[in-house]
A and B are shown apart, each in its own frame.
Chain A
């Protein structure tokens, strides 16, 4: 999936909006929305590519106060398919009117947890048959997890909380593996050099990318060089 990198500079809300739009295009989704609550200030941040009419409807009726895709989903560790709310009256009171606005009630929410107790939610919808939906979900769920954490971390990095606390630090192993990557070693070679499996190398690289807010390994290497963690190869 080609995804916009939000880690480089300070993104604006326009960047977040186009991030969501690009994600929906790439993953064959109709709509996407992101929401989080700042754990210190209680401020709610939200971005969505829904139509203005639906946003207006949703906001004017304060539907965020009852919407279980926000309140319930944030307490799960796994993505929550909205089928789970089938018997939830609150869900229907929010989404009953959604069809009139062209928004499908077929969707799922990816809950995100950050290191400081911060939580975020990335919700997506797609109007299609249930069979197609199940197939699509299986296909995109890993990418959705990546996109959700990337977006959430980027939003949180701009808050005073994370600026004050700092972001998760890299381990000595992660730095070592990034350094070998910077000089052009492949994962298999790095595994041989360090006497660990190539999948262990892969896990450390993934973790380093997440901590550096990078989408790709080369971005992570670039960022680590910029921060003085490793030397250019």
Chain B
């Protein structure tokens, strides 16, 4: 299930937000080795203070298993600042219809491989569907996402290949990072749904029959 947490409703989701920051610390600091600030086991930066929106995936037990952070490209965002190396020093794109997605990750400790509900590819698709539906509703047509090559491959294999890239891949920690473009459209959402088999409303809690 997907929840959108922003500065309007963050007071209702403080535990989930803390868990999300812990997931980000495990992924970006421990696993990917990015130069990020971690304190009390939580990864946070100055962009978290700029009222971003977080797309958060919760598993059936209510644990945070995936997340993504969204900011408008018209205002301050990561590509205009800390990730400018990815754009080869060029200024970033700026459009009322383009959002930036950063800190996109899933919990590889809790999730397994394969096509099940508790898999990396399922949660990746669920976060993407949630973000694209939220974006479309807001009049957004495209997203630029900062991702690593593993995430890029997962997306290419799950009916969600970027239609282009900005700048060039750059080393970051133990991996490289790149800025990928994706359309925020019915077609892409349908392609993601067809691949993942997610047919339900991702924003609604699902009730599963036990023992079937």
Contacts and interface: CB of A to CB of B under 8 A. Distances in A.
Contact of A78 (B53, B73, B93): B53
A113 B51 CA distance: 11
Contacts of A211: 94
A199 B97 CA distance: 13
A114 B74 contact: yes
B53 A169 contact: no
A171 interface: yes
Nearest to A111: B72
Contacts of B74: 112-115, 149, 210
B181 A199 contact: yes
A170 B91 CA distance: 7
B138 to A, nearest CB: 4
A173 B90 contact: yes
Contacts of A146: 96-97
Contact of B98 (A75, A114, A207): A207
Interface string B82-106: 0000010011111111110000000
B6 A115 contact: no
Interface residues of A, number: 39
Contacts of A197: 163-164
Contact of B93 (A75, A76, A115, A203): A203
Interface string A178-213: 000000000000000000110110011011001100
A145 interface: yes
A199 B87 contact: no
Contact of B53 (A76, A117, A203, A207): A76
Interface in A80-117: 80, 84, 112-115, 117
B52 interface: yes
Contacts of B91: 168-171
B102 to A, nearest CB: 13
A145 B138 CA distance: 8
27 contacts: A75-B6, A75-B51, A77-B99, A77-B138, A78-B134, A79-B138, A112-B74, A112-B96, A113-B76, A114-B74, A115-B74, A115-B75, A144-B139, A145-B97, A168-B91, A171-B87, A171-B91, A199-B163, A199-B181, A200-B163, A200-B164, A204-B93, A206-B95, A206-B97, A206-B98, A210-B74, A210-B95
